[in-house]
């Protein structure tokens, strides 16, 4: 019955969405804004209509806009960073469709690191959002010269690296699995390669990146802390182009071009590392025969059927391969596919329908004769999203839709040959569906007040088949119940209010505040500090309740010097329920009773984030500073007292500077500093069977040494005007060779067993890199 | 960079310990280690109890100590004056007398497989109790050696062959000595090879085995809680994997005592490498 009730509520919410439109005597202006050379649609372009008053809007994720104007003459100004502004006079006396093509500004003598309208950060009601422009990534120095959006993101306040060189990140005290990472709407479950040192996102293939660290709009859900929305390039609609790069550890190539000129295009981009290439030079065959590399492939095609319909098909495939001497093989990776259909029901109602597939799996094989085995594990999503954007009138933009996501998790399946001592074991698959409906309204209340408010009704259903267990407080099984296929085991329903509002103090400053509730039904089991390919996801169940977070934030936004400088200060407080840890000694491998070993507790995080950015000029960049505290509380840990979470870092500073020295040379540098992680060091030791064992008293009451690092890079552009454009990137990671602690371990002194010592492991000293990029 | 630490995870992968591939990449990325000075806080000393009852007729021992600060030399900080008793399922009370500082010894007796024993320690006015059920014995069929080689580094490791009893959950613990010198203790379970002919490779980080060395292996069967306790210690010890949040292993003692009480069976085997 509960199931039916939840469905009913979900449907009610949808019905509520079909509000009849208000009376109108205005005309609608709509259209799509594109790059004039590639035909690529442009996201977030500012359109201003200057008539009796100045009004405006911006394009959505598909380059589409719709706006209502009363009849009359207007000066239209279309502006987008990196493009020449279009100024045009238009007369409105009927519904009008505009086709706007913007010319890229090639004689750019400055680097621009914001694609938003100049004072959008102040005016927009949305808070806790950051956009990354791909030109930023191009210039920021990175490890091994591999451009990486996830690492550039970590330079923003409120977003912290999960570890040295790690593409995992913590947002406002949340853990890495509380970030929803979407690639063309498909959730990516393990967004890293080579055990975390590289992200799965090849910058060549990416068009736009937005990150929400608070105030999540209602169309997003399913994770507590943040949404990272990554959109791939559509491909050049006008002509064929190729670009790529050759670096120390990887090379990449991208091809794009029209399928039918101006109607459809494709993009295909690939990357392959050769970290193991050096091994082949060894004369030792046991070294030579090892492999360690990853590759990935992004592909996208789109076709505009007519004015009202466009379809997109995009996909990602990436794989890491590790092999040791033909005795051991390990490979893992993500596959995603997205089929999208943009449809205009009317000039005011934009619809996007997406059918999404995502799969993460790993396979481990041991080829040793008597112990041979093969382990495989996977998580798979089948997702349908229906999103409507309705320009109700000039002060209301309504967005509503449905999100149905069916998950299948196969935690572990072990197979072996008959001669092996290993038995075949299968941990039962788990199936569950997340069904959510949402509605939100972007409302211009008056000249001063803007708000985005909405509601997301989210439900989760765990289905059979399978045996489901109950446990006592010690983790012993107390009952087992068998369910058949399709039986409902457990369901949860939550209403998630989302509201974000801004109050304009004057043309260059505003106050904003937001409140959001998020819930999460997929939980990552990992107690290590680094992301691992064998990370295991579990769903909410009869033993595991959904995680819930409530966040309030308040911010002050100000632009200075004619929007040349952007400043913001945000404070936040986040309360989290249903946080998960597991007991010491828990073994996740092939374990059907993982839920028995879980501990549940609460979390809280609060902090202030300051951000100052110089947006244009020969020298630009930003400074971000975060002062924060993150804690967790579990009955069985630290005597039930609050303790600092591993995400806690009191001070966190990032400095990014980019200097365009001449037409061909660009220099950039980043500096990061953060308080060492909260960790547990031994408070004593004892002897057990003549072996030293360490005693830990309070959880996370110690600190790793402070982390800081300076990186530098220089880019030399080739001479302009040639058909083949090329550039060289030189980089130095960790310029002053700081020995940052990756971990500190404790052990007996190997030279004097009567003593114990602390040993610091440093991953990366100073690392130079060089990359050659080309385009034709 | 310690080579064994690098490859230990791979070696253990042969026993399905596949989660720990991490140090492979560390090796390729040329990490470095350095001994550092840390200002560690000293926690209040806590009582540690290590109680053992075997299935052999012998003196059984209980060791009681207190934790010492990290910076002190490793030593057994024995606790004097505890009252130590073991109760058998039939209600017989066995007293343990202190024979040296912190070392408590019983009269000769043997435990019986399948029976649950209760250890009680009265110290500092607090009563600490723990129970352990002695598993049924499983002995080694033979011991051999395996040469494992990775990245050009090869080593010889002792390997224990035995038949795991089908249909029961078994846990094993090995104590390895080379020429009478303790090298390691390591635990295994039969979760993935229940009922099979099993070969457990004892990977350790100590003296290399040379021709002529005498290798002593004590094979124990231990109860589930004892296995989890030692498994947790090996997990915290890093086990070659990425850093985990360290915590004290779950003890089977109440009242906050550290340590473990184990009723176990043992069989020993001695072999000389030719």
User: The domain spanning residue B113 has which CATH number?
Assistant: 2.60.40.10
Residue appearing with tokens 């994997």: B241
Alpha carbons A57 and A67: distance in angstroms, whole number: 7
DSSP A737: -
Residue A739 sits at the chain B interface (C-beta within 8 Å): yes
Widest distance between CA atoms in chain B: 60
User: Is residue B56 in a domain?
Assistant: yes
Task: For residue B48, give how far its alpha carbon lies from the nearest alpha carbon of chain A (Å).
Answer: 8
Residue-level pLDDT at A275: 67
Residue appearing with tokens 């500004």: A105
Residue-level pLDDT at A247: 84
- The two tokens of residue B261 are 């009480």
- For residues A244-268, average pLDDT: 90
Radius of gyration over every alpha carbon of chain B, rounded to an integer in angstroms? 20
Name the β-bridge partners of A310.
A304, A342
Residue-level pLDDT at A531: 64
Contact B182 A690 (CB under 8 A): yes
User: Is residue B202 in a domain?
Assistant: no
User: Is residue B112 in a domain?
Assistant: yes
Q: Which residues contact A443 (CB under 8 A, 6 or more apart)?
A: A395, A396, A397, A450, A451, A452, A453
Is the omega angle on the peptide bond into residue A293 within 30 degrees of 0, that is, cis?
Answer: no
User: Is residue B61 in a domain?
Assistant: yes
Confidence of residue A141 (pLDDT cuts 50, 70, 90): confident
Task: For residue B28, give how far its alpha carbon lies from the nearest alpha carbon of chain A (Å).
Answer: 8
From residue A383, give the alpha-carbon distance in Å to each of A402, A432, A489: 10, 12, 21
Calculate the average pLDDT of chain A: 85
| CB proximity under 8 Å: A 385-414 to B | 414
Sign, CA torsion B191/B192/B197/B200: negative
Alpha carbons A581 and A525: distance in angstroms, whole number: 8
- DSSP per residue, A160-212: EESSTT---EEETT--GGGEEEEETTEE-S--EEGGGTEES--GGGEEEEEEE
Q: What is the 3-state secondary structure (H, E, C) of A405-461?
A: EEEEEEEEEEECCCCCCCCCEEECCEEEEEEEEEEEEEEECCCCEEEEEEEEEEEEE
Of A534, A584, A585, Cβ closest to residue B18? A534
Of A276, A528, A688, Cβ closest to residue B244? A528
CB of A190 closer than 8 Å to CB of A535: yes
DSSP A25: -
Taken in order of first residue, the domains within chain A and their CATH numbers are 2-102 (2.60.40.1120), 230-775 (2.40.170.20)
Residue-level pLDDT at B66: 96
Nearest alpha carbon to residue A210 among A159, A172, A258, A153:
A153
pLDDT at position A13 over 50 = no
Dihedrals phi, psi of A440, to nearest 5 degrees? -145, 160
Task: For residue A613, give how far its alpha carbon lies from the nearest alpha carbon of chain B (Å).
Answer: 34
CB atoms near residue A221 (< 10 Å): 25
β-strand pairing of B47-53 with B258-263 = parallel
Task: For residue A278, give how far its alpha carbon lies from the nearest alpha carbon of chain B (Å).
Answer: 10
Q: Is A584 exposed, middle or buried (0-12, 13-18, 19+ CB in 10 A)?
A: buried
Q: Name residues of chain B where pLDDT drops below 50.
A: 1-29, 239-242
Residue A629 in 3-state DSSP?
strand
pLDDT at position A113 over 50 = no
Size of interface A-B (CB pairs under 8 A): 237
Residue-level pLDDT at B2: 33
User: Is residue B138 in a domain?
Assistant: no
Confidence of residue A440 (pLDDT cuts 50, 70, 90): very high
Contact A195 B150 (CB under 8 A): no
Q: For residue B172, which residues of chain A lie inside 8 Å, CB to CB?
A: none
Contact A692 B151 (CB under 8 A): no
Contact B228 A757 (CB under 8 A): no
Of A423, A739, A756, Cβ closest to residue B70? A756
User: Is residue B214 in a domain?
Assistant: no
β-strand pairing of A250-260 with B32-36 = unpaired
Sign, CA torsion A215/A218/A223/A229: negative
CB atoms near residue B89 (< 10 Å): 12
Residue A683 sits at the chain B interface (C-beta within 8 Å): yes
Which is higher by pLDDT, A73 or A584? Answer: A73
From residue A457, give the alpha-carbon distance in Å to each of A98, A398, A495: 36, 16, 5
CB atoms near residue A736 (< 10 Å): 9
User: Is residue B25 in a domain?
Assistant: no
DSSP A144: G
Which is higher by pLDDT, A93 or A16? Answer: A93
Residue A474 sits at the chain B interface (C-beta within 8 Å): no
Nearest alpha carbon to residue A611 among A138, A38, A121:
A121
Q: Which domain holds residue B126?
A: 47-133
Q: For residue A742, which residues of chain B lie inside 8 Å, CB to CB?
A: 31, 243
Total domains, chain B: 1
pLDDT at position A246 over 50 = yes
What is the tens place of the pLDDT at every residue in A167-188? Answer: 789 999 999 899 999 999 999 9
Of A637, A688, A758, Cβ closest to residue B38? A758
Residue-level pLDDT at A736: 93
User: Is residue B266 in a domain?
Assistant: no
- For residues A393-404, average pLDDT: 91
- The two tokens of residue B198 are 């099993």
Alpha carbons A315 and A336: distance in angstroms, whole number: 5
- For residues A602-623, average pLDDT: 91
Of B28, B67, B154, Cβ closest to residue A684? B67
Task: For residue A751, give how far its alpha carbon lies from the nearest alpha carbon of chain B (Å).
Answer: 12
Q: For residue A759, which residues of chain B lie inside 8 Å, CB to CB?
A: 33-36
Residue A328 sits at the chain B interface (C-beta within 8 Å): yes
Contact B152 A742 (CB under 8 A): no
Name which of A687, A705, A733 to mutate to probe chain B: the one with the most chain B Cβ atoms within 10 A of its Cβ: A687
Of A286, A685, A686, Cβ closest to residue B152? A286
Alpha carbons A635 and A601: distance in angstroms, whole number: 7
Confidence of residue A118 (pLDDT cuts 50, 70, 90): low
Q: For residue A748, which residues of chain B lie inside 8 Å, CB to CB?
A: 74
The torsion of the CA quartet A718, A719, A720, A726, rounded to 10 degrees, works out to -20
Please give the residue of chain B at the shortest CA–CA distance from A750.
B206
Residue-level pLDDT at A365: 85
Task: For residue B133, give how far its alpha carbon lies from the nearest alpha carbon of chain A (Å).
Answer: 16
pLDDT at position A69 over 60 = yes
* Cα A320 from chain centre: 20
Alpha carbons B42 and A718: distance in angstroms, whole number: 61
Confidence of residue A284 (pLDDT cuts 50, 70, 90): low
Of B68, B151, B245, Cβ closest to residue A646? B245
What is the tens place of the pLDDT at every residue in A665-685? Answer: 989 999 999 999 898 899 999
- For residues A435-454, average pLDDT: 92
Contact B193 A529 (CB under 8 A): no
CB atoms near residue B7 (< 10 Å): 23
Confidence of residue A527 (pLDDT cuts 50, 70, 90): low
pLDDT at position A199 over 90 = no
- The two tokens of residue B10 are 């791979």
pLDDT at position A641 over 60 = yes
Residue B47 sits at the chain A interface (C-beta within 8 Å): no
Residue-level pLDDT at A48: 85
Q: Which residues contact A215 (CB under 8 A, 6 or more apart)?
A: A126, A127, A128, A129, A452, A498, A500, A514, A516, A551, A553
Residue-level pLDDT at A373: 84
């Amino acid at each position: 019955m509960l199931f039916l009730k939840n469905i009913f509520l979900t449907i009610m919410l949808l019905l509520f969405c079909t509000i009849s439109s208000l009376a109108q005597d205005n005309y609608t202006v709509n259209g799509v804004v594109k790059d004039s050379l590639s035909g690529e649609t442009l996201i977030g372009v500012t359109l201003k209509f200057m008539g009796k008053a100045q009004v405006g809007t911006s394009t959505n994720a598909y380059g589409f806009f719709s706006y209502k104007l009363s009849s009359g003459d207007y000066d239209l100004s279309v502006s987008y960073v990196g493009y020449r502004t279009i100024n045009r006079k238009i007369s409105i006396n009927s519904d009008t469709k505009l086709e706007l093509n913007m010319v890229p500004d090639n004689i750019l003598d400055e680097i621009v690191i914001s694609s938003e309208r100049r004072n959008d950060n102040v005016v927009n009601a949305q808070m806790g959002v950051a956009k990354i422009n791909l030109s930023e990534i191009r210039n920021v120095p990175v490890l091994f010269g591999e451009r990486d959006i996830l690492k550039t993101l970590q330079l923003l306040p409120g977003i912290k690296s999960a570890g040295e060189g790690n593409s995992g990140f913590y947002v406002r005290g949340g853990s890495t699995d509380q970030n929803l990472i979407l690639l063309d709407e498909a959730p990516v479950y393990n967004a890293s390669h080579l055990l975390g040192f590289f992200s799965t996102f090849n910058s060549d293939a990416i068009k736009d990146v937005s990150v929400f660290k608070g105030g999540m709009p209602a169309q997003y859900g399913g994770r507590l802390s943040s949404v990272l929305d990554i959109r791939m390039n559509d491909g050049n609609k006008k002509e064929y182009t190729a670009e790529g790069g050759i670096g120390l550890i990887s090379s990449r190539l991208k091809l794009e071009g029209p399928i039918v000129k101006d109607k459809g295009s494709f993009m295909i981009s690939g990357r392959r590392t050769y970290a193991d290439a050096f091994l082949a030079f060894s004369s030792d065959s046991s070294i030579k025969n090892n492999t360690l590399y990853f590759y990935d492939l992004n592909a996208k095609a789109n076709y505009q059927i007519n004015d009202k319909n466009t379809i997109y098909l995009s996909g990602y495939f990436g794989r890491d391969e590790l092999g040791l001497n033909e005795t051991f093989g390990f490979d893992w990776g993500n596959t995603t596919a997205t089929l999208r259909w943009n449809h205009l029901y009317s000039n005011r109602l934009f619809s996007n329908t997406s059918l999404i597939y995502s799969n993460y799996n790993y396979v481990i094989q041991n080829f040793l004769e008597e112990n041979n085995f093969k382990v495989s594990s996977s998580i798979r999503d089948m997702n349908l999203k229906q999103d409507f954007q309705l320009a109700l009138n000039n002060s209301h933009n309504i967005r509503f839709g449905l999100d149905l996501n069916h998950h299948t998790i196969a935690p572990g399946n072990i197979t072996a040959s008959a001669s092996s001592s290993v038995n075949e074991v299968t941990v039962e698959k788990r199936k569950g569906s997340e069904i959510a409906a949402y509605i939100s309204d972007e409302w211009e209340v008056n000249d001063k007040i803007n708000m985005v408010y909405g509601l997301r009704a989210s439900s989760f259903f765990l289905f059979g088949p399978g045996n489901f267990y109950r446990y006592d407080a010690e983790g012993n099984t107390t009952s087992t119940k068998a369910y058949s296929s399709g039986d409902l085991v457990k369901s949860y329903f939550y209403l998630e209010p989302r509201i974000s509002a801004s109050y304009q103090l004057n043309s260059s400053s505003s106050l904003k505040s937001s409140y959001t509730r998020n819930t999460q039904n997929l939980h990552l089991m990992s107690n290590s500090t680094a992301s691992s390919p064998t990370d295991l996801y579990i769903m909410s169940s009869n033993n595991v309740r959904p995680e819930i977070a409530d966040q309030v934030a308040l911010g002050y936004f100000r632009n200075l010097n004619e929007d040349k400088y952007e400043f913001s200060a945000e404070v936040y407080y986040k309360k989290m329920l249903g946080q998960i840890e597991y007991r010491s000694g828990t073994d996740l491998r092939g374990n059907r009773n993982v839920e028995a070993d879980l501990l549940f507790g609460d979390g809280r995080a609060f902090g202030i984030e300051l951000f100052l950015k110089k947006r244009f000029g020969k020298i630009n960049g930003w400074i971000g500073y975060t002062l924060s505290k993150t804690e967790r509380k579990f009955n069985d840990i630290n005597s039930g007292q609050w303790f600092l979470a591993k995400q806690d870092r009191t001070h966190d500073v990032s400095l990014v500077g980019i200097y365009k020295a001449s037409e061909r040379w660009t220099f950039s540098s980043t500096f990061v500093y953060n308080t060492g992680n909260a960790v547990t060091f031994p408070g004593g030791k004892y002897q057990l069977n003549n072996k030293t064992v360490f005693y830990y008293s309070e959880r996370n009451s110690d600190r790793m040494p402070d982390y800081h690092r300076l990186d530098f890079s220089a880019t030399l552009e080739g001479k302009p005007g040639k058909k083949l454009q090329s550039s060289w990137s030189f980089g130095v990671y960790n310029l002053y060779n700081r020995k940052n602690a990756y971990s500190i371990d404790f052990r007996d002194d190997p030279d004097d067993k009567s003593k114990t010592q602390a040993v610091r492991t440093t991953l990366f000293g100073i690392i130079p890199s060089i990359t050659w990029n080309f385009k034709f | 960079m310690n080579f064994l630490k690098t490859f230990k995870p791979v070696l253990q992968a042969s026993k399905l310990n596949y989660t720990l591939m991490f140090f492979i990449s560390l090796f390729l990325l040329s990490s470095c280690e350095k001994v550092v000075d840390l200002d560690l806080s000293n926690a209040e000393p806590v009582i540690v109890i290590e109680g053992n009852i075997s299935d052999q007729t012998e003196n059984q021992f209980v060791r009681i100590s207190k934790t010492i600060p990290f910076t002190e030399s490793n030593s057994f900080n024995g606790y004097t004056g505890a009252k130590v008793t073991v109760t058998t399922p039939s209600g017989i009370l066995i007293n343990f007398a202190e024979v040296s500082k912190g070392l408590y010894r019983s009269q000769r007796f043997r435990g019986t497989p399948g029976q649950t024993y209760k250890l009680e320690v009265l110290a500092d006015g607090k009563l600490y109790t723990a129970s352990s059920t002695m598993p049924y014995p499983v002995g080694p069929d033979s011991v051999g050696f395996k040469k494992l080689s990775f990245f050009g580094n090869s080593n010889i490791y002792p390997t224990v062959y035995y038949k795991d009893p089908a249909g029961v959950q078994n846990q094993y613990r090995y104590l390895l000595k080379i020429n009478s010198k303790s090298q390691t203790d390591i635990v295994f379970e039969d979760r993935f090879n229940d009922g099979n002919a099993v070969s457990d490779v004892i990977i350790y980080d100590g003296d290399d085995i040379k021709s002529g060395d005498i290798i002593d292996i004590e094979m124990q069967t231990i109860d589930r809680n004892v296995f989890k306790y030692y498994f947790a210690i090996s997990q915290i010890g890093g086990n070659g994997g990425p850093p985990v949040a360290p915590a004290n292993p779950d003890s089977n003692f109440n009242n906050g005592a550290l340590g473990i009480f184990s009723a176990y069976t043992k069989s020993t085997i001695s072999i000389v490498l030719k």
